[in-house]
Amino acid sequence: MTDIDSLLEQARKNSKGYGEKYGCKETADDYLKSTYASIYASAIGETVGERDAWVRRHEEYRKAIERKQNAYADWKTAETYMRLLFAQTEVWRSVQANNRYMDSAHR
């Protein structure tokens, strides 16, 4: 049987880290866009396509993409963990409701 108090404690304990990971995920998009714009300003090339290709090959831009990828992966892992905790909580609630129903049916 799942102990609801331990599930809730796990959710409380992980909520701060979950919030931080969500914040990193949200700011990773802006960081990638601002990195692109910053590099694009000094990009080499005469056409938009040439400048865009130059930016996308730039090491700073690749690092920004990796940062975004890691932020999304960390957030998704944390989100999945929290969803599993909530699912376990819902199962516990259903079991408790069924037990109450069965107890009342046997009276």
- Residue 106 scores a pLDDT above 80: no
Instruction: Give me the domain span that covers residue 43.
Output: 4-105
The domain tally of the chain equals: 1
pLDDT in tens, 35-89: 999 999 999 999 999 999 999 999 999 999 999 999 999 999 888 888 888 888 8
| Contacts with 53 (C-beta within 8 Å, 6 or more apart), sequence order | 45
Q: How sure is the predictor about 32, in pLDDT bands with cuts at 50, 70 and 90?
A: very high
Q: How sure is the predictor about 1, in pLDDT bands with cuts at 50, 70 and 90?
A: very low
Token representation of residue 25:
């995920």
Q: How sure is the predictor about 2, in pLDDT bands with cuts at 50, 70 and 90?
A: low
Rounded Cα gap, residues 78 and 74, in angstroms? 6
How far lies 47's CA from each of 42, 59, 99, in Å? 13, 21, 70
